[in-house]
Amino acid sequence: MELPLVSVSIITYNHNKFIRQALDSVLAQAVDFRYEIIVGDDFSKDGTQDILREYQEKHPDKIQLILHPRDYDCVPGRVNNITNLYACRGKYVAMLDGDDSWISTDKLQKQVDFLEKNKEYALVFSDTIFKYQDGKEVKFSETQTHLSNGNLDFTQKDIIQKGFIQTSSILFRNHLIGEFPDWFWKVYHADYAIQLLASRYGRIRYFPEIFSLRNFYQESFSAPQTQTLEKRKLFYDQYKLFEMEFPDYLKYRYFTVGKGYFNLAFDSFGTMKFFTYISTSVKYTLMYFLTPYASGKAKIGALKHIIFSSFVDRSSS
């Protein structure tokens, strides 16, 4: 049997409100090649798996389900993510979270056509719409701040300096990832790690078009309401893990890590963890002010941010 040219990796967990829209947006793609949909579900309890089985029965030649028992001990979703990616047989891989969707029917065709013609590129991505629980939609425009003179190309250094690529908009060459390093099992943002790993092997092209939609809602993994102390610690610990593979990574994150651990210390005041968090915060904050990679103006702005955000805003909340 002919292998698919593209594998679409969809990760789900309690996405019953959104998974139909996600699957429909993939099935609606107008393409001239064969593709497969690999859906990994992380033991959903809200009926998501029933919906997945319904779609798989309708499209058995296109949809493969990987339904996980939730009995493993690692970062939430990591086994799901890795298992899905290893199951992808296509030359290219597109990623889509089960609570997001594509809003362009030629998303895959345009991105595949570009990578087929331009072998020096490892990954492509596009603009994304953010949709909030109140119905408000906002175009994610952070990418624009990284563009200069109309140049649509990015490098690994750009991603290291600041992550700005939305997962549901990307397509990358499947063979580039290979075996996942040990640290990958521990990082909080696996999608960002995948972008870093793929970017080792080629350039990155930005499509100035809106291909995807990202939903923000109260129960989502990235929502502030779900960010427990432990999740936030995992988030800041991952910066040290990234540095194992990318030595220049952490020098661009000293202030972020320092402020993050200060916030953890503030929220754990009165516990033994407070002293660990505050000492880590002081360490990375000092490293930021000593690094030559930040300008004097940036350091003054960071100092003001620490004073007003960390003390004034918190004391008034």
Q: Binning pLDDT at 50, 70 and 90, where does residue 116 land?
A: very high
Highest mean pLDDT among 67-71, 127-131, 223-227: 127-131
Q: Binning pLDDT at 50, 70 and 90, where does residue 164 land?
A: confident
Strand pairing category for 171-173 and 137-140: unpaired
In the prediction, which pLDDT does 221 show? Answer: 47
Q: Domains along the chain?
A: 6-215 (3.90.550.10), 225-316 (no CATH)
pTM recorded for the entire structure: 0.81
Q: What is the mean pLDDT of residues 165-176?
A: 91
In the prediction, which pLDDT does 308 show? Answer: 61
Beta strands, E only, the chain:
6-12, 35-41, 63-67, 92-97, 101-102, 121-131, 137-140, 153-154, 171-173, 203-215
Residue located via tokens 């991505």: 125
Cross-strand pairs, 124: 171, 205
Residues 95-114: pLDDT tens digits?
999 999 999 999 999 999 99
Q: Binning pLDDT at 50, 70 and 90, where does residue 76 land?
A: low
In the prediction, which pLDDT does 145 show? Answer: 59
DSSP string, 75-109: STTHHHHHHHHHH--SSEEEEEETT-EE--TTHHH
In the prediction, which pLDDT does 225 show? Answer: 43
- Residue 277's alpha-carbon distances to 206, 214, 254, 262, in angstroms, are 38, 32, 14, 7
Checking if the pLDDT of 278 tops 60, the result is yes
The conformation of residue 194, written as its DSSP 8-state character, comes to H
Convert 183-201 to b/e letters by CB count within 10 Å (16 or more is b): ebebbbbbbbbbbbbbbeb
Checking if the pLDDT of 153 tops 80, the result is yes
Q: What is the mean pLDDT of residues 62-89?
A: 81
Cross-strand pairs, 64: 38
- Cα–Cα distance for residue pair 91/35, rounded to 1 Å: 10
Q: Quick one: CA dihedral 195, 196, 200, 206, positive or negative?
A: positive
In the prediction, which pLDDT does 2 show? Answer: 84
Short-list 179, 198, 293, 276, CA closest to 236? 276
Highest mean pLDDT among 109-113, 276-280, 284-288, 289-293: 109-113
Checking if the pLDDT of 312 tops 50, the result is no
For the chain, count helices (H), then strands (E): 11, 10
Average pLDDT score over the chain: 82
Q: Binning pLDDT at 50, 70 and 90, where does residue 5 land?
A: very high
In the prediction, which pLDDT does 77 show? Answer: 64
Within 8 A by CB and 6+ apart from 5, the residues are 33, 34, 35, 90, 91, 92, 112
Residues 192-244: pLDDT tens digits?
888 888 888 899 999 989 999 999 876 554 444 445 666 666 666 776 777 77
The conformation of residue 207, written as its DSSP 8-state character, comes to E
Which residue type is seen at 171? Answer: L
